[in-house]
Amino acid sequence: MYNATESFAEFNKVNVANATKIAAMSIENAEKLFRLNLNAAKIALAQGVESAQAAASVKDVQELLALRAKYTESGVQTALSYSRTLYDLTSEAQAEYSSIAEEAWASYTKGVAAIVDKASKSAPAGSDAAVNAFKSTFAASTAAFDQFQKASKQVINLADASVRAAAANASTATTKSGRKSA
């Protein structure tokens, strides 16, 4: 005889394990973001002190203009580096969360399929049409979700490539304009 309580208890165990993983990942990612921001603040402070000291020792306008160009390029490079690192952290976290979601979905579909299979074996006579309708609906929704998931991955990969190309172009443009003004 089929026991639905055991199946639901198993689903709950898996859900608690996934929630624990997500909570631990969230804390770990928050720590990474905190370290990134703390490091960015330290760099900004150090660059500010360095540029103030350099500006205080300027003797003519040409030197001031060269100094301004130098620190402008440095500031842009620092901002690009920060943005790139932030994007990498975000992408990594998104991939981890997606992995957990995919694992949960696979576990869920496997569990539901097992429940439906067990329930259909112990279903009363004459309920074959209802069981088959449920199985077919579940199979269709699973296939639709899989297609959605594949499309989402393609969009994410395209967006990732676009962001990385834009960052590379911005870095190259900044370096070229910094060399021209120096």
- Give me Rg for the CA atoms of the chain: 28
**115: confidence class by pLDDT, cuts 50, 70, 90:** confident
What pLDDT score does 175 carry?
64
Lowest-confidence pick of 78-82, 88-92, 177-181: 177-181
Give me the helices (H) in the chain, please: 4-56, 61-121, 128-181
Q: Which residue has the higher pLDDT, 55 or 131?
A: 55
**pLDDT at position 28 over 80:** yes
Give the count of alpha carbons within 13 A of 77, CB side only: 14
Percent of the chain past pLDDT 70, that is, above it, reads 92
- Sign, CA dihedral 109-110-113-118, equals negative
Three-state SS for 118-148 is HHHHCCCCCCHHHHHHHHHHHHHHHHHHHHH
Query: Is the CB of residue 73 less than 8 Å from the CB of residue 178?
Result: yes
pTM attached to this predicted model? 0.70
Q: What angle do CA 163, 83, 34 make, to 5 degrees?
A: 135
Q: What angle do CA 145, 25, 93 make, to 5 degrees?
A: 60
